[in-house]
């Protein structure tokens, strides 16, 4: 029930953000004001959304070979540093291995560091998605653009998961029963 309530709240927030955006576009530009800076703490839901949407957008880019949407959704500084072709080269290994990042939609990301804002107001989210046999490690940086977090930097790694060895049992395993053989006369 809580999940449905959160989904409804998220939908309402998304719809209201869209209305605010449309209203802002209709107004004439105001004189330059101080940049809008979201403050920490970023809610867990916001952090999860940023991680999941970024990884799933990257997954779609890898599946199609088209990195323009990932690039176009990013911050202007990211776009200035990366062409769609550059991104294709940067994520070539994931694409060649057909590594699917769908685990980002199914499993809860685990943070290795608490979400933080640096001196420039950039939000850093670092951690992993506990997929197996390989984890999805991420280190994402976001910049505020027009009051929204936009991708500024992305590092993805897919290390093998170290499996815990099962503890040895105290008793030796039972031997299988010997089958009776019929001797021929």
Q: What is the pLDDT of residues 159-181, one digit of tens each?
A: 998 765 555 444 444 444 444 44
**Whether the predicted pLDDT of 132 surpasses 70:** yes
179 lies in some domain: no
Q: What is the pLDDT of residues 17-43, one digit of tens each?
A: 444 444 444 544 555 555 555 555 578
**Whether the predicted pLDDT of 122 surpasses 70:** yes
The CATH number covering residue 147 comes to 3.10.450
Q: What is the pLDDT of residues 54-67, one digit of tens each?
A: 999 999 999 999 99
**Whether the predicted pLDDT of 93 surpasses 70:** yes
The reported pTM is: 0.67
78 lies in some domain: yes
85 lies in some domain: yes
Q: How many CB atoms lie within 10 A of CB 91?
A: 20
52 lies in some domain: yes
24 lies in some domain: no
Q: Give the model's pLDDT for residue 79.
A: 98
Of the candidates 54, 29, 28, the residue with the CA atom closest to the CA atom of residue 148:
54
Q: Give the model's pLDDT for residue 164.
A: 55
Tokens of residue 42, six digits: 């970023």
Q: Give the model's pLDDT for residue 42.
A: 77
Query: Using alpha carbons only, how large is the chain's radius of gyration in Å?
Result: 24
69 lies in some domain: yes
Distance (Å, rounded) from C-alpha 109 to C-alpha 125? 10
Q: Give the model's pLDDT for residue 11.
A: 35
11 lies in some domain: no
**Whether the predicted pLDDT of 141 surpasses 70:** yes
What is the DSSP annotation of 117-170? E-TTS-EEEEEEE--SSB-EEEEEEEEEETTEEEEEEEEEE-PBP-PPPPPPPS
Biggest CA-to-CA distance, the chain: 108
175 lies in some domain: no
Structural domain count of the chain: 1
Q: Which domain holds residue 150?
A: 38-157
Query: Residue range 65-71: average pLDDT?
Result: 97
Distance (Å, rounded) from C-alpha 43 to C-alpha 58? 23
């Amino acid at each position: 029930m809580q999940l449905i309530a959160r989904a409804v709240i998220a939908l309402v927030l998304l719809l209201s953000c869209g209305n605010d955006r449309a209203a802002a576009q209709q107004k004439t530009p105001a004189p330059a004001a101080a940049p809008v800076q979201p403050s920490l703490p970023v809610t867990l839901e916001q952090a999860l959304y940023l991680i999941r949407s970024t990884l799933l957008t990257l997954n779609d880019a890898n599946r199609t070979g088209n990195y323009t949407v990932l690039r176009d959704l990013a911050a202007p500084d990211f776009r200035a540093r990366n062409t769609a072709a550059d991104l294709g080269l940067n994520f070539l290994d994931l694409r060649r291995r057909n590594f699917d990042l769908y685990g980002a939609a199914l499993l809860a990301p685990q943070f290795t560091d608490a979400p933080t804002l640096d001196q420039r107001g950039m939000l850093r989210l670092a951690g992993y998605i506990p997929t197996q046999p390989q984890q999805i490690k991420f280190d994402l940086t976001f910049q505020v653009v027009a009051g929204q977090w936009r991708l500024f930097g992305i590092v993805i790694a897919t290390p093998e998961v170290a499996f815990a060895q099962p503890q040895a049992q105290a008793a030796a395993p039972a031997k299988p029963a010997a089958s009776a053989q019929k001797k021929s006369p």
